[in-house]
Amino acid sequence: MTSMLSDSWLRRASRQAGEEQRGRRRRERFLIAGVLTAALSLGLAGPWVASAGALTLTTPYPVMAVQPGQTATLAVNVANPDVARVDLSIAEAPEGWVVSLRGAGKEVSAIYADPQSPPALELRVDVPTDAAKGDYKVVVRATGAGAQLDLPLTLRVTQEASGGTSLQTDFTTLRGPSDAAFRFSIDLQNAAPDERTYNIAGQGPEGWKVSLLPAGAERETPSLTVQGDGSQRLNLEVTPAADTPAGSYPVTVTATGGGEKAGLDLTIEVTGTYDLVLTTPDERLNADIKGGGSTRVPLVVQNNGTGPLQGVSFSATPPTDWKVAFDPQTIDVLDAGEEATVTAVFTPAGNAIAGDYAVSLSARADQAMANTDLRVTVTTSTWWGIVGVVLIAVALGGLLLVFRRWGHR
C-alpha cells in the first residue's frame, strides 16, 4: 500500500512540474512578443520594417547598390497573425523607372497574408540606362487588416555596383550597305563571386535577322553559364532586311540572370546598296554613226540600289584618233531608283572606213561603277554617196561616147 501511494505522489509531482515548465515557456513567448511589438512601435527595428498593429511589411535589403540599365530584385515579406487580404502598390518611385511587385513570376497587386504559408514576394526595379549616380527612393505600400504601411527603400546608383552584370563591346556602331552582314563581339561579364546562368537575347528591327551565340558555338542558345568573376564572349550577327533604306537602326542585346538584367544598345548605319547600270534607251548595245562628222547617241544611267550615288562621271575608250564626249559630263547626285539620260557624242577618225567598231563606255560614282561595250557601225555620209554616183555616171557616159565614135569604123 505504501508503494502504491508513493507512485501516485510521484506522478502528480511530475505532472505539476511539467505544467509549471509549460507555463514559464508561455510567459517567455508573451514577453518576447511584447518586447518586439514595443520595438516596432518605437521604430527600433529600423526603417526596413513597417508595422501597424499585427501587420508587418519588411525587407532584408533596405539599401541596395545598382547599375544603370540593371534590373534589381529585392525580397519583400508581408506578415499577419491571421489570414487576411493585403493590397499592395508602389506609393513612390523615381520618374522613368519601372517598379513592380511580383509573385510566382507575375506582377501582383494583392496577396493573402497567411501565417502558416507566407507568400513569396519580390520587388523588381528596372534602372534606366541613363540613370545618374545617386540615391533613389522607392516606397512599397501595403493596405489590409485594418492598417496601411509604407516601406521606404533606397537604391544607390553607381557604376561599380558589387556583383554586377554587364555587357561590353569595343564598337557600338557599324556602318555598311544593306546587303552586308554586321558582326559585333560582346563580352558578358559576371562580377559576382558565384556562378550565374543568364538568358541572352538580341533584338533588331522587324524583318531583320539577328543571331546571338557564344563564341565557338555553332548554334544559338537561349541561356549560358558564366563563372564567378568571369566573362563569356558572345558573337552577334545582324543581317538587315532586303532593300532596307539608308539610315540608322537600333539593335539591343540583353542578359538576365542572378536577379539582374544588363542591356547593350547598338547602332547599325545602313548606307544602302549601290548598283549602277549604263545602257541605251532600248537596251540594245549598238549604234550607227556617220563617218566624216559627229553623231549624238543617247544613253541611260540607272541607280538600281537603295542609296544615292554621288558624283557620277563618264568616260570612253574609243578606237585610235576617235573622240567621244558626254553631255552632261557629270551628274552630282543620282538618287536610289532613279535614272538619267546622257548623250554620247561620237566623232570617228577622218580616215575611218565603213564597218563595225567596239567602244567601251564607263560610268563611275563614289560608291559604284558600271561598264558597257557598245558596237558602233560607221556608215559613209550621203555626200560621198552622191559623189560616187556622179563619178559612176561620168564613167558610163565616157564609155558610151567611145563606143559611138569607134563603133562605125
36 pLDDT more than 50: no
Give the separation between CA 301 and CA 183, rounded to whole angstroms: 34
248 pLDDT more than 90: yes
- Within a 10 A sphere around the Cβ of 340, how many other Cβ atoms? 14
Cβ(166)–Cβ(204) below 8 Å:
no
**pLDDT per position as a tens digit, 54-89:** 888 999 889 988 888 778 888 899 988 888 899 999
Local confidence band at 272 (pLDDT 50, 70, 90 cut-offs): confident
193 pLDDT more than 90: no
Local confidence band at 34 (pLDDT 50, 70, 90 cut-offs): very low
Q: Which percentage of the chain shows pLDDT scores above 90?
A: 48
User: How large is the average pLDDT for residues 333-355?
Assistant: 91
Contacts of 267 (CB under 8 A, 6+ apart): 172, 173, 174, 248, 249, 250, 251
20/361: higher pLDDT: 361
124 pLDDT more than 80: yes
Give the separation between CA 68 and CA 136, rounded to whole angstroms: 12
Q: Beta partners for 52? A: 55
327 pLDDT more than 50: yes
What mean pLDDT value characterizes the chain?
A: 83
Q: Beta partners for 63? A: 154
Give the separation between CA 184 and CA 251, rounded to whole angstroms: 11
Give the separation between CA 158 and CA 124, rounded to whole angstroms: 18
178 class by beta-carbon count within 10 Å (0-12 exposed, 13-18 middle, 19+ buried)? buried
Give the separation between CA 342 and CA 281, rounded to whole angstroms: 10
DSSP string of 322-369, one letter each residue: -EEEEESSEEEEE-TT-EEEEEEEEE--TTPPSEEEEEEEEEE-SS-E
Number of H helices, E strands in the chain: 2, 29
